[in-house]
Amino acid sequence: MKPFNHFLLSSVKLGILFALGFFAFALPALAAEFQVQAPTSILSSGEKAVFEVYLNPGAGEVVNAFSINLNLPRGLKSSVVIPADSTQVIWLTSPQVDFDGMLKAEGGFLSPVSKPTRIMTVAAQVNEAFQGGNFSLGQDSKALAADGKGTALPISLTSPKLALSQAGALANFKISSPTHPTESRWYPNKNLNLTWSVTSGTQYSYELKSGLDFTFKPDEVADTPGASFVLPDGVYVFALRQKPANANWQDPTYRLVLVDSIPPADFKIDQQDLGGKKLIYFKTYDILSGVTGYEVLLAGAGAYVPAQSPYLIPEGQTVEKVRALDKAGNEKIVAVGARTDVGDILRAMALIIVLLFMAKLLHGFIVKKFNNVTR
């Protein structure tokens, strides 16, 4: 059972990427380029840096599917990865950084792109191990041409060569939050409280801004220590400056705040009988934090269990519900056989067509491989 499920998942994921390249007009295959852009290439230990990642199809080329494995320079610890709008990109694997510092993502554009297009934004903490360095692409990175065949284009990477500032480490001080304790984590709570240690005779000035900006400075007018906000969903940066007694205002310390209270979008569950094996297909998106995984509830079971699409239903059992979770812990639960809203069906129609097309296209190949594996 396990070899079949593993092979089926890998085959369909590759098939989806192929299909995204299949549904388009034929164009000559040239080259594609992943681009990493940064406001500055000189970084100081202790600061937070922001990088934009783009996919440039190349002159005369059109691309609508990609896979990227991007190695971050040693000493850059990712705080958060903000994917491009999920209503524009189908994320097969939502952007995430693994333990070894490699950023991984797989996706396809709902509308083929012919010009440089942002696919994600990365905020990273510069720690003590950083000594400069380059980004690099992993072997599995690819860009698929919209040429009717899903041709894998030659790819390259352009990125800044990062260097360590000789000015020394930034003098940060600790900003804590009882409501959002880990700054690299998404929270559904809209009520933000921030605290810091107050020194007698020291003045403080702070400001909160929407977006990933670690360069702005609060004014030099003292504020009452301690800060509370009620925030809409989004990405925020809190900046805090201090002025010790008989000293000038110092540079700010920054803290990232991530708020997502909206669950993943509604989705449809498709069922298929494949050689006596029952499968269900499901896929959705989450605009802000991104979908982190799926779980299924089997009839008679007391708890959900992790699952991936396509999910092979254990023999003699039925699936009652599928639950999608985002990185803030919000959930969307759909019952098998349930109807979805018309707006969500239209939004997900391209994805559903791709899934069904690939299931049919790969039917004979998968059955043949399954028979070989289970003999």
Give pLDDT tens digits for 137-181.
Answer: 988 899 999 888 888 999 999 999 999 888 766 667 889 999 999
Domain coverage including residue 252: 189-259
The answer on 365 and 250 residing in a single domain is no
**Whether residue 360 has pLDDT greater than 70:** no
Rounded-to-integer distance, Cα 213 and Cα 369, Å: 50
Whole-number mean pLDDT of the chain? 82
The answer on 140 and 42 residing in a single domain is yes
Rounded-to-integer distance, Cα 14 and Cα 35, Å: 23
Final residue before a domain boundary, out of 259, 284, 308: 259
- Of residues 19, 93, 64, 87, the one with CA closest to residue 343: 87
- Residue 367 located in a structural domain: yes
The answer on 97 and 31 residing in a single domain is yes
The answer on 296 and 222 residing in a single domain is no
The answer on 316 and 231 residing in a single domain is no
The answer to whether the CB of 174 falls within 8 A of the CB of 197 is yes
The model's confidence at residue 86, banded by pLDDT at 50, 70 and 90, is low
Could you tell me the maximum CA-CA distance found in the chain, to the nearest angstrom?
81
The answer on 42 and 138 residing in a single domain is yes
Burial class (CB in 10 A: 0-12, 13-18, 19+), 110: middle
CA 305 to chain centre: 22
- At 350 the three-state DSSP class reads helix
Task: Give me the pLDDT at residue 375, please.
Answer: 45
pTM of the model as a whole? 0.74
If one counts every other C-beta atom within 10 angstroms of the C-beta of residue 123, the result is: 22
Task: Give me the pLDDT at residue 232, please.
Answer: 96
Q: Is the dihedral angle over the CA atoms 360, 357, 4, 150 positive or is it negative? A: positive
Peptide bond into 160 cis (omega under 30): no
- Residue 72 located in a structural domain: yes
Final residue before a domain boundary, out of 259, 283, 311: 259
Taking the CA of residue 167 as centre, how many other CA atoms within 13 Å lie in the half-sphere pointing to its CB?
9
276 Cβ partners below 8 Å, 6+ apart? none
Q: Which of 72-81, 308-317, 322-331 has the lowest mean pLDDT?
A: 72-81
Please identify which residue in the block is written with the tokens 């199809």.
57
Q: What DSSP character marks residue 129?
A: T
The answer on 213 and 160 residing in a single domain is no
The answer on 337 and 244 residing in a single domain is no
Q: Which CATH number fits the domain that encloses residue 146?
A: 2.60.40.680
- Residue 181 located in a structural domain: no
Q: Which CATH number fits the domain that encloses residue 211?
A: 2.60.40.10
Final residue before a domain boundary, out of 215, 236, 259: 259
Provide the number of structural domains found in the chain.
3
The answer on 158 and 28 residing in a single domain is yes
Taking the CA of residue 38 as centre, how many other CA atoms within 13 Å lie in the half-sphere pointing to its CB?
20
**Six token digits for residue 299:** 């009839």
The model's confidence at residue 254, banded by pLDDT at 50, 70 and 90, is very high
The 10s digit of each residue's pLDDT in 95-106 is: 888 777 789 988
The answer on 198 and 106 residing in a single domain is no
The answer on 32 and 160 residing in a single domain is yes
- Residue 177 located in a structural domain: no
The 10s digit of each residue's pLDDT in 182-193 is: 988 999 999 999
